[in-house]
């Protein structure tokens, strides 16, 4: 039995996996090198008015060339794992067809260098940089099959060394935000019916990816996804509000995570969408609902929920007030408890075998001081607060196995370009020099002691 000493109560489990996360388009640069094909994000970022300052990922952190330096940063932090994504269009420049060996070589070099440094690679196969050549993008069901083929290929090439694969990152962001509201690539504003079909192709791609990885990977390979479900905090920690949080979690994620965890669309979703409901083919839901080896969630923010018996759904989601504390990204309200309640609601609803936080972090009011250092006290405060609630989840025995801070370093923050920086290392985008921020010093100590102090 665990020693119930006061100090022990602040510890994380001994085998807790600490890591850092990045994504290909946000850090790699080398957009035209070694046969990489164009992606929807290349086109979007080069379209005037789409990204702040007209910023692009053409160079970003130049990690395509500087990955040894980035691995050195990971090593200096003492983390045991690195979550990165593969640029599909480096492997298949047109999304499908003949593989590009130079792209494969890059990820082989990266994986080998990580392993040589004692760092476990966790691979995301799709973090939004869709090959532009795929006709219709995610509007086309064929794209889901192309993803399955690409997943099969990568599993075959990497699973001798990579043991943990995430199919896709954040369904909402490459479906609704790309095709319904249009703030992200490809920047379309389609009618709800078409957007619902895009959502379906997204979850179908995940399902086909799971099947493809299982069929092509070496034994012992684990498959999951990195999702950003809507997650909630009970307004008051009483059984009725806690139940309301679970119900809200299940209902509001009906098109994505609930479908994946339950292998069906909730009737309430289908009814609400009516004639706009997605067209589903025979066998789709079985693929989509394939049991996963683990589930990873990206946790940034969440809303409060209270039980409300006057509503048919039995709960009310409380809006954020204008004065609620948030980080510089306008959507990033500081709600540290959501990391615990998100994990708890998901655990109780769907009993996943293992859970990870695949991203957590924030933009902050970073300024380089005279000594060249960024003292990001606000980010330290943010991380420390979230970590307290992560530790509660571990302490109470939820199956939380690891945590990846977003992000290893400042990088191309999508439509915000380089105006919102989310790294624990500062990057000087003129010189590409990386410098640990105060938050990196803080994280290194957390990783070293494996406990909150």
Subset of residues 403 to 422 that bind ligand GBH, contact rule: CB under 6 A: 406, 413, 422
Give the count of beta carbons closer than 10 Å to the beta carbon of residue 200: 25
Any long-range contacts for 190-199 (C-beta under 8 Å, 24+ apart)?
190/139, 191/276, 192/273, 192/276, 193/275, 193/276, 194/139, 196/255, 196/273, 196/276, 196/277, 196/278, 197/139, 197/278, 197/279, 198/138, 198/139, 199/171, 199/175, 199/255, 199/256, 199/278
What is the distance between the alpha carbons of residues 128 and 26, in angstroms, rounded to a whole number? Answer: 10
The C-alpha angle with vertex 345 and arms to 222 and 450, in degrees rounded to 5, equals 60
Give the one residue of 126, 269, 300, 442 binding ligand GBH; rule: CB under 6 A.
Answer: 300
Q: β-strand 164-169 against 120-126: which pairing, if any?
A: parallel
Subset of residues 303 to 332 that bind ligand GBH, contact rule: CB under 6 A: 331
The length of the chain is 453
Subset of residues 226 to 255 that bind ligand GBH, contact rule: CB under 6 A: 228
What is the distance between the alpha carbons of residues 320 and 233, in angstroms, rounded to a whole number? Answer: 12
67 or 300: CB nearest ligand GBH:
300
What are the DSSP calls for 240-266, one per residue? HHHHHHHHHHHHHTTTTHHHHHHSS--
56 or 159: CB nearest ligand GBH:
56
Give the one residue of 11, 12, 16, 23 binding ligand GBH; rule: CB under 6 A.
Answer: 23
Catalytic residue (choose from 28, 170, 227, 413):
170
Q: Write down the least CB distance from residue 330 to ligand GBH, Å.
A: 7
Q: Is 27 in the site for ligand GBH (CB under 6 A)?
A: no
Q: Which residue has the tokens 């990885």?
A: 213
251 or 359: CB nearest ligand GBH:
359
The C-alpha angle with vertex 347 and arms to 390 and 451, in degrees rounded to 5, equals 20
**Interface stretch with ligand GBH, choices 34-42, 152-160, 170-178, 196-204 (CB under 6 A):** 170-178
Q: Write down the least CB distance from residue 253 to ligand GBH, Å.
A: 13
Q: Write down the least CB distance from residue 47 to ligand GBH, Å.
A: 17
The C-alpha angle with vertex 76 and arms to 72 and 79, in degrees rounded to 5, equals 100
Site size for ligand GBH, by CB under 6 A? 15
Q: Write down the least CB distance from residue 26 to ligand GBH, Å.
A: 6
3-state secondary structure of 346: helix
Give the one residue of 11, 45, 221, 298 binding ligand GBH; rule: CB under 6 A.
Answer: 298
285 or 390: CB nearest ligand GBH:
390
**Interface stretch with ligand GBH, choices 27-35, 169-177, 236-244, 253-261 (CB under 6 A):** 169-177
Per-residue binding letters, 367-406, with ligand GBH (x by CB under 6 A): ---------------------------------------x
- Please tell me the number of Cα atoms within 13 Å of 149 on its side-chain side: 14
152 or 409: CB nearest ligand GBH:
409
Give residue number: closest CB to ligand GBH: 331
Give the count of beta carbons closer than 10 Å to the beta carbon of residue 282: 6
12 or 128: CB nearest ligand GBH:
128
359 is known as an active-site residue: yes
243 is known as an active-site residue: no
Q: Which residues are catalytic?
A: 170, 359
């Amino acid at each position: 039995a665990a020693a119930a000493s006061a100090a022990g109560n602040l510890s994380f489990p001994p085998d807790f996996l600490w890591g850092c996360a990045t994504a290909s388009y946000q850090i790699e640069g080398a957009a035209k090198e070694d046969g990489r094909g164009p992606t929807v994000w290349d086109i979007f970022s080069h379209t005037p008015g789409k990204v702040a300052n007209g910023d692009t990922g053409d160079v970003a952190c130049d990690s395509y060339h500087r990955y040894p330096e980035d691995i050195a940063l990971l090593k200096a932090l003492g983390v045991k794992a690195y979550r990165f994504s593969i640029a599909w269009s480096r492997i298949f420049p047109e999304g499908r067809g003949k593989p590009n060996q130079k792209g494969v070589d890059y990820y082989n070099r990266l994986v080998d260098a990580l392993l040589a440094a004692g760092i476990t690679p966790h691979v995301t196969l799709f973090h939004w940089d869709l090959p532009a050549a795929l006709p219709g993008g995610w509007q086309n069901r064929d794209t889901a099959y192309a993803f399955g083929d690409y997943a099969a290929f990568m599993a075959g090439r990497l699973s001798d060394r990579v043991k943990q694969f995430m199919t896709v990152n954040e369904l909402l962001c490459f479906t609704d935000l790309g095709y319904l509201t249009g703030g992200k690539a490809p920047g379309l504003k389609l009618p709800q019916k078409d957007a619902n079909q895009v959502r379906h192709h997204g979850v179908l791609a995940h399902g086909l990816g799971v099947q493809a990885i299982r069929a092509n990977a070496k034994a012992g390979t684990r498959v999951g996804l990195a999702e950003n479900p809507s997650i909630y905090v009970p307004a008051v920690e009483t059984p009725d509000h806690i139940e309301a949080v679970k119900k809200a979690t299940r209902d509001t994620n009906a098109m994505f995570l609930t479908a994946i965890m339950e292998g069906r669309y909730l009737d309430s979703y289908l009814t609400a969408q009516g004639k706009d409901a997605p067209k589903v083919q025979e066998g789709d839901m079985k693929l989509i609902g394939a049991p996963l080896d683990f589930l990873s969630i990206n946790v940034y923010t969440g809303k409060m929920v209270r039980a409300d018996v006057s509503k048919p759904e039995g709960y009310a989601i409380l809006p954020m007030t204008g004065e609620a504390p948030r980080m510089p990204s306008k959507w990033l309200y500081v709600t540290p408890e959501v990391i615990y309640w998100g994990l708890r609601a998901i655990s109780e609803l769907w009993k996943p075998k293992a859970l990870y936080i695949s991203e957590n972090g924030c933009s902050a009011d970073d300024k380089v001081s005279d000594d060249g250092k960024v003292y990001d006290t606000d980010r330290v405060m943010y991380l420390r607060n979230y970590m307290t609630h992560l530790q509660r989840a571990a302490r109470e025995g939820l199956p939380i196995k690891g945590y990846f801070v977003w992000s290893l370093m400042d990088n191309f923050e999508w439509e915000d370009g380089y105006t919102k920086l989310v790294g624990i290392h500062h990057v000087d985008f003129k010189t590409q020099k990386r410098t640990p921020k105060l938050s990196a010093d803080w994280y290194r100590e957390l990783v070293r002691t494996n406990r909150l102090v």
